[in-house]
């Protein structure tokens, strides 16, 4: 009887040890992609300079594939990787922000108009994520940047970028 209890206890210890992940570094991996919905413009160029996420450890800047992106090329399941496979602390991720540069414009026909971006270059385009990221798991976030809803024609004929951004999906990869 005592031997049976010992063997059962030993099996329980091995089972628990097998369930625990050794060498867990308390991090998750994040990849961020962007897509767009159609709009009546020829091009909508937006300069992305930085991608940041808000974690329980504060704001973290991801290594960003900075550049000017034509949002209208990102339709029909076409995406672009803004930040690729970067380790972040596991836990709750509440928000993301895209920091824009100054090279933003809309092309209508063959005429380009600058896009005013009042606060996007300083504080970023923020949107909520509100997801929990588990240790040692890889996640891909897909952002939908809706160009059609984001471009506002002002009374003076100028154009302003008032972004319609949403988190389309968070997928474990």
Q: What is the pLDDT along the chain (173 residues), one digit of tens a residue?
A: 443 333 333 333 333 333 444 445 788 888 888 776 666 789 999 999 999 999 999 999 999 999 999 999 998 889 999 999 899 999 999 999 999 999 999 999 899 999 998 776 678 888 899 999 999 999 999 999 888 888 999 999 999 998 888 888 888 88
According to the model, what pLDDT value does residue 120 have?
A: 63
Q: How far is CA 107 from CA 41, 45, 121, 164, in A?
A: 6, 8, 21, 18
Domain extent at residue 117: 26-172
d(CA 99, CA 93) in angstroms, rounded, equals: 18
The answer to whether position 19 is within a domain reads no
The pTM of the full predicted model, rounded to 2 decimals, is 0.76
- Domain assignment present for residue 20? The answer is no
In a domain? residue 140: yes
Q: Is residue 136 part of a domain?
A: yes
Distance CA 165, CA 156 (A): 25
- Whether 12 is covered by a domain: the verdict is no
In a domain, 2, yes or no: no
116 belongs to a structural domain = yes
Euclidean distance between CA atoms 46 and 144, whole angstroms? 13
- Segments of the chain assigned E as strands: 27-35, 43-55, 58-62, 67-70, 80-89, 91-100, 105-108, 111-116, 125-133, 138-145, 151-153, 159-161, 165-172
* Number of domains forming the structure of the chain: 1
158 part of a folded domain: yes
């Amino acid at each position: 009887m005592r031997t049976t209890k010992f063997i059962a206890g030993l099996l329980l210890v091995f089972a628990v040890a097998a369930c625990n992940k050794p060498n867990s570094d308390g991090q998750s991996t994040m990849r961020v992609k962007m897509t767009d919905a159609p709009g009546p413009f020829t091009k909508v160029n937006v300069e992305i300079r930085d991608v940041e996420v808000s974690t329980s450890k504060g704001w973290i800047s991801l290594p960003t594939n900075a550049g000017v992106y034509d949002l209208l090329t990102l339709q029909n399941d076409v995406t672009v990787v803004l930040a690729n496979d970067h380790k972040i602390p596991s836990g709750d991720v509440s928000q993301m922000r895209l920091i824009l540069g100054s090279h933003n414009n809309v092309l209508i026909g063959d005429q380009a108009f600058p896009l005013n971006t009042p606060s996007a270059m300083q504080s970023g385009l923020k949107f909520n994520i509100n997801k929990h990221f588990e240790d040692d798991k890889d996640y891909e976030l897909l952002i939908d940047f809706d160009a059609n809803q984001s471009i506002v024609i002002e009374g003076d004929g100028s154009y302003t970028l008032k972004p319609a951004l949403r988190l389309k999906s968070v997928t474990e990869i």
